[in-house]
Structure 1
């Protein structure tokens, strides 16, 4: 299936620490989070990507136009370092469409803008391009396919560090809990859609507002709960957390490096 990645947002909460880069181009280790997400999908055989570009689209285009495979692949130099032999190809079998979807467009309008690249697709994948997971993707796809629904998204525990407060009469605190110890789940920004999703999106609408409400009323939206690893990168602190995991060699989202994402 084709994979639509939303790469055009301003990333305002991360901008001060990103050097002005668009959020998908902020690094985890030596590679942008966008690359990590694309590697995740490619691991499961989904290698046709549509990048919905907006803010600083040139940074994303130039990354791939000047892609250096040596940073993520073993290689051998020979003939006085004039000849390089890569031990494995990194992205040579990927197909990437770079689509200008507007500087200030919302997610719904970015998705509408790339409809022409999905006309022959019965189903497609989509992602906010700002979070990583070790979700067994084929299992989610199989569940969605059997459901017959039009849309599906991953439901996860928040990765942010905050506390949930419960008040009772006169604003007296009844309870306070760390969010990951509660039953709160959020939209993890990882989607599967059938092509019929486009019937539910009108001009100017945000994807998860009006279109999703229409799907809900018709019982056509599936929430796929996943309680294992998921982590977003909305803030500098979250970027640091992901880099710390990567540097410790504990990066669960790197499913392409071994049997870390077993299908059950």
Structure 2
């Protein structure tokens, strides 16, 4: 019953409240109910994304952006859930009573044989794994950052597995610091990943090593930092990039942040306003990008360049740089506090 309560939201609740609730539950869906507790809609990451792209204020009610044709089954019809999940690519199906009140949830993860099969893709995923990971000292004095474990699985393999679920299995991994240890880990490769390594002689920033793979990157490719874990549909990301004719697409995560102090608005030494512990919503860089090969021409040979600089340079040269906003769970595992939060989250979700 607690699990159901965690995903229910009233139709008059604000979008910014829905954002917080989505981030706090692990199912990545909210069920919108009316005053009689009847299901009238759903809110998912896609609804939040469309709201951002259409400049909808987060102070609007969720009823303005919800999906008004939610997928559900009535009690006694639970066998239909599997077909709905596969047809509509949804992971959670609510079970309703005759009054359309939610009484249970059917999860795809509990139907072991149920899984949407994504088509295999030839596109490369380029993982930046050459950094020293100094924010995780002293851990990274022994292990390279990509091999720091989430349960029994190194961060970099968690990332690779996420991509493989959506049909990506061609990986380029740029290495430098403790490169041989990373290569040794993938030597046996029982999961059959197609991996090639790109060796940086010098540290080239978060985009410079793309130049070293120029001969391989001949079609649209995805770049990921090796210390970010994000739960998104990478198949949809690639479609979005192509549909919008972008030369680059940045994945942006919507974050709600509260200032833990009273904020004073001052003008000419006089108090204008005072807000106690205000909350703000930001779209932050997730460290995942979709790029077209022509952008590699803007990268200098054997010189360090970071991805934000490459993207801004691309805009200067007239290339279209888009943003793919998501409200999904996102972890920057490259810092201690977030690493601990990541472990706690995966313990809840996977029981690691």
| Cα-Cα RMSD | 2.7
Q: SS of the counterpart of 2:142?
A: coil
Question: Is the contact between residue 252 and residue 283 of structure 2 (CA under 8 Å) also seen in structure 1?
Answer: yes
Provide Cα deviations, 1:74-94, integer angstroms capped at 9, x if missing partner: xxxxxxxxxxxxxxxx512x2
Alignment of 1:150-229 (within 5 A): 150-158=247-255, 167-169=264-266, 174-175=274-275, 177=277, 181-203=279-301, 204-217=303-316, 218=318, 220-229=320-329
Per-residue displacement from partner, 1:167-195 (whole Å, max 9, x unpaired)? 532597944657xx422121101111111
In structure 1, the partner of 2:170 is 48
Task: Please give the alpha-carbon distance, in whole angstroms, between the structure 1 residues aligned to 2:261 and 2:315.
Answer: 26
Verify the 8 A CA contact 1:17 1:236 in the aligned structure 2.
no
Matched, 1:146 2:243: yes
Listed as ranges, the matches of 1:19-30 within 5 Å are: 19-30=141-152
Give the TM-score normalised by the residue count of structure 1.
0.75
Match of 1:107 in 2: 206
Give yes or no for contact 2:249–2:289 (8 Å, CA) kept in 1.
yes
Looking at structure 1, the residues matched to 261 and 320 of structure 2 have their Cα atoms a distance apart, in angstroms, of: 30
Distance 1:176 1:36, change over 3 A: farther
Which whole-Å deviations, capped at 9, do the CAs of 1:76-130 have from their partners, x for residues lacking one? Answer: xxxxxxxxxxxxxx512x2100110234221221111121222xx3211110111
Identify if the C-alpha distance between structure 1 residues 110 and 43 changes in structure 2 by more than 3 Å, giving closer, same or farther.
same
Confirm whether residue 248 of structure 1 aligns to residue 340 of structure 2: no
- Closer, same or farther: CA 4–137 of 1 in aligned 2, 3 Å: same
Larger Rg: 2
More divergent stretch after superposition (52-61 vs 167-176) = 167-176
Query: Is the partner of 1:223 in helix, strand or coil?
Result: strand
How far the C-alpha of 1:9 sits from its partner, in A, is 0.5
Work out whether 1:122 is the aligned partner of 2:219: yes
Partner in structure 2 of residue 72 of structure 1: none
Contact 1:159 1:231 in 2 (8 A): no
**Contact persistence 1:102–1:110 (CA under 8 A):** no
* 2:133 corresponds to 1:33: no
Report Cα offsets for 1:219-253 as digits up to 9, x if no partner. Answer: 510111001211111212211111112222358xx
* Cα pair distance change 1:241/1:209, threshold 3 Å: closer
Alpha carbons of structure 1 residues 219 and 195: separation in structure 2 relative to 1, 3 Å = closer
TM-score by length of 2: 0.58
Q: How many residues align?
A: 224
Q: Secondary structure at the residue paired with 2:327?
A: coil
Q: Give the Cα–Cα distance (whole angstroms) in 2 for the partners of residues 247 and 127 of structure 1.
A: 24
Q: Which structure 2 residue ranges, 5 or more long, are not aligned?
A: 1-122
- 2:112 is aligned with 1:14: no
Q: How much has 1:39 moved relative to structure 2?
A: 0.3
| Higher RCO (CA 8 Å, separation ≥ 6 residues) | 1
Match of 1:262 in 2: none
